[in-house]
């Protein structure tokens, strides 16, 4: 990492995390998850395994969910990363966060950040997923506490909320056209 | 009907959203690996590739030469300080680091302290350990043969047998079997499994040389007991040790034991005066931390020809690995396995367990289960089905015929437990109605005629949780009470500190609800703190579904002590005699005169500003609750499976779970616990098992090989409940966190056997994997072509 005793060659990287560039000289072997947690100091992204199986470390890399334990920080040089800390905007919870709160989609909270990032990416590409599509999307994220039923409901809640927010202005616009006609 | 006061207070029975969620949802949980202290060093551990070997030499010179490495700690270093061994919770001892031999694969051999976790990981690969492999003891049955190699030559007894335990009446049971009309017998193996909470184990140990105080942030389910053990082992006075259990990413029993890593990190911090962080990798967690189950069972059930069950006889070999480091109450080396008579009225039962050492990591911890109850429930629920099959009876009918009748409670079981309350026929009937049992049986008959494989499985389990009464239950001599301390502030908000703590169960919410209900204060004005031994009252911790039965009870009793004092204050404020004051709809009022009333908030203010002469100021109470009995939650589960004849895959089409945990604090949280428990019940039934090859090599040592259920395998759980309050618990509640893990596996196994019963299949050991089923289909020519 950034240890002074480290004699390995380092490489300079600039990684934008939640809209904020973070620069550091890092060892080429430094995992992205350690960059996020220890260099950027954002500890909401967790580590649950060493075989890319559990998904607790899931972040979005240029909008695509990725397991940050299986990417090197140098591979993410120049990329835009989104983590759980970036979901809340202007003091308002993201619909996915709200869904997990309302539908009791979390217990110990350890898998939750990765699970929510996967859900966010799913809803960005498929705003109205079926239950089967939700289950497939989160199948790379393990949860030991909830049995997934309430996680599925949480994501359905978020989809509904996002769709309601998006259709509201559309309806207003359609209404305006009707009035003009 | 809900009153306005109930809506405002939101005490018992409300689905209050969780108080702990806002931090978790924002990535602001505070788990152990999130802790960063100034000057903190990192520890990593070198582990044994052999299951059994002599250590001839450890050469750490290359590791020590690596820049950034400060120390390499071996068993010899610890031995010099008298710390190479530590006591287990089960009157055994275990190695912290080995001096001359390793006894399981992945055992800790040496620890590196370095400035960086990558350097520490590099350094462990540079430690040269010279081993002389020894023959490993892998099979616990062969371990008992006279010429078996010794796993533990350090013991006086030169055998791999650890202990023999039995319960029930052997003579009466044998008599019943001798005169029985029908006897069924079955061997069952309940495989070794691992809890694999998504957060692994770890700690940050920080010794302050000036204060002489050791603080350890630790993934532990039992911080107070750990503090006492640390003090007794290290000689550090107990007030100079602080154990903090921060946010914990799942426990399930795997975070009850003391693992060597905690101890080595603490020793290293004491020696260096610097904080030491140790966080396991998943593979280390899965290969070396304590395992559950591993029971080799032979069970026999005696009955009349009409299906009346009479007696149960069970013999078990328990594989405990190389150290008996389970976490059972001291007098119960086989836990509460003797609850094995289940929900049924049996005249006699006798159960024996023999604990055995093998060259495997420690076994016998829980996997979301109260002390061996899962093994017991699996056995009896499979045996009931075996009997039904033998007698050509419907598995629901045979259960209804043999249930302990609702009017027989409190009921003394054949192995000596006093069941507090139950209504088993009501729960099963509700499950049968919900699932549409009769219709499913018709569908099954039609499908079977077409060659399709469908099965219906029932499990009507009784659990035993909430250890426990101090006359019977202790861990290392510490009685298994639990505690709560409540302070009501002048403006009517309150802080509650409890001796148990959450690993996801939501104590910060449910314990606030208990206080809200008892004191009539809105739930949002009550803060709950736990997990810090410097501030929380002493308690035995959270495992075995004991939080609500023990500390939950303590919280209610402490609140009632406060209410007693508050009543005196209310009498003072209302200028009435205390005898004329009653507590009604969350406030004190003059009997029969609702207009003359004061709220708890008003009373709290008076406790600090206007208390009567001679009364002590303040409004607080502590309770250490010694439960008079355990609680006996129960349930009726029905599982419907379809079997793919092309692959052998078992698909759970429906799973109806009726649970009864008495009065419910928070229905949303209880349902969440059931969902999670069912999933951790399905896991060992269909997916999870840890096995070893003949050399003692673990065969599922990472999450690519050890299959945790994903959202794809997990069905939609259909839950409902009946309510049969516990008569002895202050608010009629029973534990619930583990019921589903205990009850689900036999429902699934029974469903699969049911689907294959017409082929002559009478039993399948779990996990019921596709290839196991496919082999049976092939054998009977029942595969899809």
Could you tell me the CATH number of the domain that includes residue B382? 3.30.365.10
**Which of these three, A47, A63, A86, is where a domain ends?**
A86
Is the pLDDT at B297 greater than 90, yes or no? Answer: yes
**Which of these three, B625, B660, B682, is where a domain ends?**
B625
Closest approach of A76 to chain B, Cα-based (Å): 19
What is the rounded average pLDDT of the residues A36-41?
Answer: 98
B214 has which bridge partners?
A: B207, B241
Residue A180 falls inside a structural domain = no
Residue A181 falls inside a structural domain = no
Cβ distance B249 to A108 less than 8 Å, yes or no, reads yes
Which residues of chain A make contact with B654, given a CB cutoff of 8 A?
A: none
Could you tell me the CATH number of the domain that includes residue B58? 3.90.1170.50
Q: What does the alpha-carbon distance between residue B201 and residue B262 come to, in Å, rounded to a whole number?
A: 9
Average pLDDT, chain A: 91
Residue B305, judged by CB atoms within 10 A of its CB (0-12, 13-18, 19+), counts as: exposed
pLDDT of B1 reads: 64
Cβ distance B27 to A135 less than 8 Å, yes or no, reads no
* Identity of the residue in A43, A100, A143 whose CB atom sits nearest the CB atom of B25: A100
- Residue A162 and residue A81 share a domain: no
Q: What does the alpha-carbon distance between residue B140 and residue B257 come to, in Å, rounded to a whole number?
A: 22
- Residue A42 and residue A15 share a domain: yes
- Residue A130 and residue A64 share a domain: no
DSSP state of B782: -
Cβ distance B704 to A53 less than 8 Å, yes or no, reads yes
- Residue A98 and residue A65 share a domain: no
Cβ distance A144 to B676 less than 8 Å, yes or no, reads yes
* Identity of the residue in A51, A145, A152 whose CB atom sits nearest the CB atom of B282: A51
Q: What does the alpha-carbon distance between residue A48 and residue B575 come to, in Å, rounded to a whole number?
A: 61
Nearest-5° Cα angle at B80, B78 to B81: 65
- Residue A4 and residue A82 share a domain: yes
CA of residue A146 relative to chain centroid, distance: 19
Closest approach of B26 to chain A, Cα-based (Å): 6
- DSSP letters spanning B190-259: EEEE----SS--EEEEEEETTTTEEEEEE--S-HHHHHHHHHHHH---GGGEEEE--B-S--TTTTSSPP
Residue A33 falls inside a structural domain = yes
What is the rounded average pLDDT of the residues B346-366?
Answer: 96
Residue B548 falls inside a structural domain = yes
- Residue A165 and residue A99 share a domain: yes
Q: What residue in A sits closest to B39 (Cα-Cα)?
A: A3
Cβ distance A108 to B247 less than 8 Å, yes or no, reads yes
- Residue B656 and residue B525 share a domain: no
Residue B474 falls inside a structural domain = no
Cβ distance A84 to B27 less than 8 Å, yes or no, reads yes
Closest approach of B504 to chain A, Cα-based (Å): 4
Could you tell me which residues come within 8 angstroms of residue B445 by beta carbon, excluding any fewer than 6 positions away? none
* Identity of the residue in A53, A85, A111 whose CB atom sits nearest the CB atom of B703: A53
Let me know: does B662 contact B729? Beta carbons within 8 Å: yes
Q: What does the alpha-carbon distance between residue A137 and residue A128 come to, in Å, rounded to a whole number?
A: 13
Residue B476 falls inside a structural domain = no
- Residue B119 and residue B239 share a domain: yes
pLDDT grade for A171, boundaries at 50, 70 and 90: very low
Which residues of chain B make contact with A38, given a CB cutoff of 8 A?
A: 36
pLDDT of A169 reads: 58
Backbone angles phi, psi at B207, to 5 degrees: -100, 125
Domain containing residue B646: 292-409+421-467+629-779
pLDDT grade for B756, boundaries at 50, 70 and 90: very high
What is the rounded end-to-end Cα distance, in angstroms, of chain B?
60
Which sign does the torsion angle of CA B43, B49, B53, B56 carry? negative
Residue B117 falls inside a structural domain = yes
Which residues of chain B make contact with A144, given a CB cutoff of 8 A?
A: 195-198, 250, 252, 676, 680, 708
Let me know: does B192 contact B319? Beta carbons within 8 Å: yes
**Pair of tokens at residue A54:** 């559990």
DSSP state of B547: I
What is the rounded average pLDDT of the residues B613-633?
Answer: 97
Let me know: does A2 contact A26? Beta carbons within 8 Å: yes
Cβ distance A147 to B678 less than 8 Å, yes or no, reads yes
- Residue B491 and residue B618 share a domain: yes
Could you tell me the CATH number of the domain that includes residue A29? 3.10.20.30
Q: What does the alpha-carbon distance between residue A119 and residue B711 come to, in Å, rounded to a whole number?
A: 13
Cβ distance A144 to B503 less than 8 Å, yes or no, reads no
Q: At what angle do helices B667-682 and A149-180 cross, to 10 degrees?
A: 120
Torsion region of B451: left, alpha or beta (phi above 0 gives left; psi -120 to 50 gives alpha): left
CA of residue A149 relative to chain centroid, distance: 20
Is the pLDDT at A172 greater than 80, yes or no? Answer: no
Could you tell me which residues come within 8 angstroms of residue B23 by beta carbon, excluding any fewer than 6 positions away? A109, B29, B30, B247
- Best B19, B113, B115, B198 member to test A by mutation, with max A CBs in 10 Å, is B198
| pLDDT > 70 in chain B, percent | 100
Closest approach of A137 to chain B, Cα-based (Å): 9
Question: What three-state secondary structure class fits B330?
Answer: coil
* Identity of the residue in A29, A101, A146 whose CB atom sits nearest the CB atom of B21: A101
Question: What three-state secondary structure class fits B729?
Answer: coil
Q: What does the alpha-carbon distance between residue B407 and residue B421 come to, in Å, rounded to a whole number?
A: 9
- Best B24, B39, B681 member to test A by mutation, with max A CBs in 10 Å, is B24
Is the pLDDT at B389 greater than 90, yes or no? Answer: yes
pLDDT grade for A178, boundaries at 50, 70 and 90: very low
Is the pLDDT at A2 greater than 70, yes or no? Answer: no
Domain containing residue A130: 89-174
Strands B718-721 and B650-660 come out as parallel
Cβ distance B21 to A93 less than 8 Å, yes or no, reads no
Could you tell me which residues come within 8 angstroms of residue A179 by beta carbon, excluding any fewer than 6 positions away? none
Closest approach of A144 to chain B, Cα-based (Å): 6
Residue B176 falls inside a structural domain = no
- Residue A66 and residue A49 share a domain: yes
Which residues of chain B make contact with A54, given a CB cutoff of 8 A?
A: 198, 282, 703, 708
Strands B276-279 and B202-208 come out as antiparallel
What is the rounded average pLDDT of the residues B274-287?
Answer: 98
* Identity of the residue in A29, A110, A134 whose CB atom sits nearest the CB atom of B198: A110
- Residue B635 and residue B616 share a domain: no
Average pLDDT, chain B: 97
Which residues of chain B make contact with A27, given a CB cutoff of 8 A?
A: 118
pLDDT of A4 reads: 44
Backbone angles phi, psi at B167, to 5 degrees: -145, 160
- Residue B576 and residue B492 share a domain: yes
* Identity of the residue in B27, B506, B712 whose CB atom sits nearest the CB atom of A83: B27
For residue B105, whether the previous peptide bond is cis, meaning omega lies within 30 degrees of 0, is no
Cβ distance A136 to B712 less than 8 Å, yes or no, reads yes
Is the pLDDT at B448 greater than 60, yes or no? Answer: yes
A13 has which bridge partners?
A: A24
Which residues of chain A make contact with B25, given a CB cutoff of 8 A?
A: 84, 93, 97, 100-101, 106, 112, 116
Strands B202-208 and B213-218 come out as antiparallel
Which residues of chain A make contact with B118, given a CB cutoff of 8 A?
A: 1, 3, 6, 27, 29-30
**Which of these three, A49, A64, A86, is where a domain ends?**
A86
How many CB pairs below 8 A link A and B? 188
- Residue A75 and residue A154 share a domain: no
- DSSP letters spanning B602-615: HHHHHHHHSPPTTS
Residue B592, judged by CB atoms within 10 A of its CB (0-12, 13-18, 19+), counts as: exposed
- Residue B390 and residue B319 share a domain: yes
- Residue B613 and residue B494 share a domain: yes
- Residue B463 and residue B396 share a domain: yes
The length of chain A is: 181
Closest approach of A110 to chain B, Cα-based (Å): 5
Q: What does the alpha-carbon distance between residue B415 and residue B372 come to, in Å, rounded to a whole number?
A: 15
pLDDT of B3 reads: 87
pLDDT in tens, B524-561: 999 999 999 999 999 999 999 999 999 999 999 999 99
* Identity of the residue in A49, A88, A102 whose CB atom sits nearest the CB atom of B26: A88
Tell me which residues of B are annotated as active site.
221, 368-369, 738
Q: What does the alpha-carbon distance between residue B495 and residue B519 come to, in Å, rounded to a whole number?
A: 12
* Identity of the residue in A3, A101, A141 whose CB atom sits nearest the CB atom of B119: A3
- Residue B600 and residue B498 share a domain: yes
Q: What residue in B sits closest to A55 (Cα-Cα)?
A: B198
What is the rounded average pLDDT of the residues B424-441?
Answer: 98
**Which of these three, B625, B655, B686, is where a domain ends?**
B625
The closest of B38, B79, B23, B72 to B277, measured between CA atoms, is: B38
**Which of these three, B625, B654, B686, is where a domain ends?**
B625
Torsion region of B80: left, alpha or beta (phi above 0 gives left; psi -120 to 50 gives alpha): alpha
Residue A179 falls inside a structural domain = no
Cβ distance B714 to A85 less than 8 Å, yes or no, reads no
Which residues of chain A make contact with B710, given a CB cutoff of 8 A?
A: 138-142, 148
- Residue B747 and residue B642 share a domain: yes
- Residue B657 and residue B749 share a domain: yes
- Residue B610 and residue B564 share a domain: yes
Taking the C-alpha atoms of B756, B761, B767 and B773 in order, what is their torsion angle to the nearest 10 degrees? -60
- Residue A54 and residue A10 share a domain: yes
- Residue A96 and residue A54 share a domain: no
Cβ distance A43 to B21 less than 8 Å, yes or no, reads no
Residue B80 falls inside a structural domain = yes
pLDDT grade for B194, boundaries at 50, 70 and 90: very high
Closest approach of A39 to chain B, Cα-based (Å): 12
pLDDT of A3 reads: 46
The closest of B59, B137, B125 to B692, measured between CA atoms, is: B137
* Residue B61 half-sphere exposure toward CB, CA atoms < 13 A: 2
Cβ distance B250 to A108 less than 8 Å, yes or no, reads yes
Cβ distance B198 to A108 less than 8 Å, yes or no, reads yes
Cβ distance B25 to A97 less than 8 Å, yes or no, reads yes
pLDDT of B327 reads: 87
- Residue A102 and residue A168 share a domain: yes
What's the total number of domains in chain B?
Answer: 3
pLDDT grade for A167, boundaries at 50, 70 and 90: confident
- Residue A121 and residue A97 share a domain: yes
What's the total number of domains in chain A?
Answer: 2
Closest approach of B622 to chain A, Cα-based (Å): 28
For residue B507, whether the previous peptide bond is cis, meaning omega lies within 30 degrees of 0, is no
pLDDT grade for B370, boundaries at 50, 70 and 90: confident
């Amino acid at each position: 990492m950034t240890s002074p005793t480290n004699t390995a060659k380092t490489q300079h990287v600039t990684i934008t995390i939640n809209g904020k560039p973070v620069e550091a000289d890092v060892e080429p072997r430094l995992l992205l998850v350690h960059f996020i947690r220890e260099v950027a100091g954002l500890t909401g992204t967790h580590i649950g395994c060493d075989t890319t199986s559990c998904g607790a470390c899931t972040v979005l890399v240029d909008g695509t969910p990725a397991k940050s334990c299986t990417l090197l920080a140098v591979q993410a040089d120049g990329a835009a990363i989104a983590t759980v800390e970036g979901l809340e905007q202007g003091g308002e919870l993201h619909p996915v966060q709200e869904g997990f709160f309302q539908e009791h989609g979390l217990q110990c909270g350890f898998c939750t950040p990765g699970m929510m990032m996967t859900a966010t990416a799913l809803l960005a590409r498929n705003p109205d997923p079926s239950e089967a599509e939700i289950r497939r999307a989160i199948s790379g994220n393990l949860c030991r506490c909830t049995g997934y039923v309430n996680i599925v409901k949480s994501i359905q809640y978020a989809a509904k909320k996002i769709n309601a927010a998006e259709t509201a202005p559309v309806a207003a616009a359609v209404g305006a056209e009707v009035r003009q006609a | 009907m809900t009153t306005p006061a109930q809506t405002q207070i939101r005490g018992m029975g409300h689905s209050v959203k969780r108080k702990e969620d806002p931090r978790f949802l924002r990535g602001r949980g505070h788990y152990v690996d999130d802790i960063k202290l100034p000057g903190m060093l990192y520890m990593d551990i070198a582990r044994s590739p052999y299951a059994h070997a002599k250590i001839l030499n450890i050469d750490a010179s290359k590791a020590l030469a690596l820049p950034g490495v400060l120390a390499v700690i071996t068993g010899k270093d610890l031995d010099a300080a008298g710390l190479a061994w530590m006591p287990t919770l089960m009157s055994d001892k275990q190695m912290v680091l080995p001096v001359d031999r390793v006894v399981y694969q992945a055992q800790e051999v040496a620890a590196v302290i370095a400035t960086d976790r990558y350097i520490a990981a590099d350094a462990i690969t540079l430690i040269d350990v010279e081993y002389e492999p020894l023959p490993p003891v892998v099979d616990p049955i062969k371990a008992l043969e006279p010429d078996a190699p010794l796993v533990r030559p350090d013991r006086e007894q030169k055998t791999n047998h650890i202990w023999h335990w039995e319960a029930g009446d052997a003579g009466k049971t044998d008599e019943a079997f001798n005169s029985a009309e029908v006897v069924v017998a079955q061997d069952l193996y309940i495989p070794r499994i691992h809890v694999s909470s998504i957060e692994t184990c770890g700690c940050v140990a920080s010794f302050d040389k000036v204060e002489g105080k050791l603080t350890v942030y630790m993934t532990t389910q039992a911080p107070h007991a750990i503090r006492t053990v640390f003090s007794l082992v290290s000689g550090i006075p107990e007030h100079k040790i602080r154990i903090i259990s921060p946010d914990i990413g799942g426990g399930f029993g795997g975070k009850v034991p003391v693992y060597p890593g905690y101890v080595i990190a603490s020793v290293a911090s004491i020696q260096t005066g610097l904080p030491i962080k140790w966080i396991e990798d998943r593979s280390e967690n899965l290969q070396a931390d304590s395992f559950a189950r591993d029971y080799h069972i032979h069970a026999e059930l005696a009955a009349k020809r009409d299906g009346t069950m009479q007696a149960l006889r069970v013999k078990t070999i328990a594989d405990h690995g190389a150290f008996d480091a389970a976490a059972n109450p001291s007098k119960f080396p086989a836990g509460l396995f003797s609850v094995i008579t289940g929900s049924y009225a049996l005249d006699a039962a006798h159960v024996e367990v023999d604990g055995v050492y093998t060259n495997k990591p420690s076994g016998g911890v829980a996997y979301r289960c109260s002390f061996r109850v899962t093994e017991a429930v699996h056995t009896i629920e499979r045996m009931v089905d075996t009997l039904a099959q033998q007698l050509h009876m419907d598995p629901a009918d045979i259960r209804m015929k043999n249930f302990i009748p609702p009017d027989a409670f409190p009921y003394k079981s054949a192995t000596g437990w006093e069941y507090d309350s139950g209504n088993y026929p009501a729960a099963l009937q509700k499950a049968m109605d919900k699932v549409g049992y009769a219709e499913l049986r018709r569908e099954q008959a039609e499908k079977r005629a077409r060659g399709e494989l469908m099965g219906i499985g029932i499990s009507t389990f009784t659990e035993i949780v909430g250890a426990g009464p101090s006359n019977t239950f202790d861990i290392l001599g510490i009685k298994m009470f639990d505690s709560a301390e409540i302070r009501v502030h002048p403006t009517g908000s309150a802080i509650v500190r409890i001796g148990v703590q959450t690993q996801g169960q939501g104590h910060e919410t449910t314990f606030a609800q208990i206080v809200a209900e008892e004191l009539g204060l809105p739930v949002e004005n009550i803060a709950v703190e736990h997990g810090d031994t410097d501030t929380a009252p002493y308690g035995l911790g959270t495992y075995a579904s004991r939080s609500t039965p023990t500390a939950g009870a303590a919280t209610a009793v402490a609140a009632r002590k406060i209410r007693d004092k508050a009543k005196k204050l209310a009498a003072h404020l209302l200028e009435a005699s205390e005898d004329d004051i009653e507590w009604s709809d969350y406030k004190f009022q003059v009997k029969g005169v609702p207009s003359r009333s004061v709220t708890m908030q008003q009373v709290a203010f008076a406790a600090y500003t206007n208390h009567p002469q001679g009364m002590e100021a303040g409004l607080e109470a502590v309770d250490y609750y010694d439960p008079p009995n355990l609680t006996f939650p129960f349930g009726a589960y029905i599982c419907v499976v379809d079997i793919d004849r092309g692959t052998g895959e078992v698909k759970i089409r429906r799973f109806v779970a009726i649970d009864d945990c008495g009065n419910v604090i928070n229905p949303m949280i209880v349902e969440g616990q059931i969902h999670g428990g069912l999933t951790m019940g399905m896991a060992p039934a269909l997916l999870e098992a840890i096995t070893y090859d003949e050399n003692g090599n673990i065969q599922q040592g990472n999450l690519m090989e050890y299959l945790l259920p994903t959202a794809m395998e997990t069905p939609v759980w259909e839950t409902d409940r009946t309510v049969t309050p516990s008569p002895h618990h202050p608010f009629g509640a029973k534990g619930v966190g583990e019921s589903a893990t205990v009850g689900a596996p036999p429902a699934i196994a029974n469903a699969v056997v049911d689907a294959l019963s017409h082929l002559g299949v009478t039993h399948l050991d779990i996990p019921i994997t596709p290839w196991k089923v496919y082999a049976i289909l092939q054998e009977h020519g029942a595969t899809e072509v």
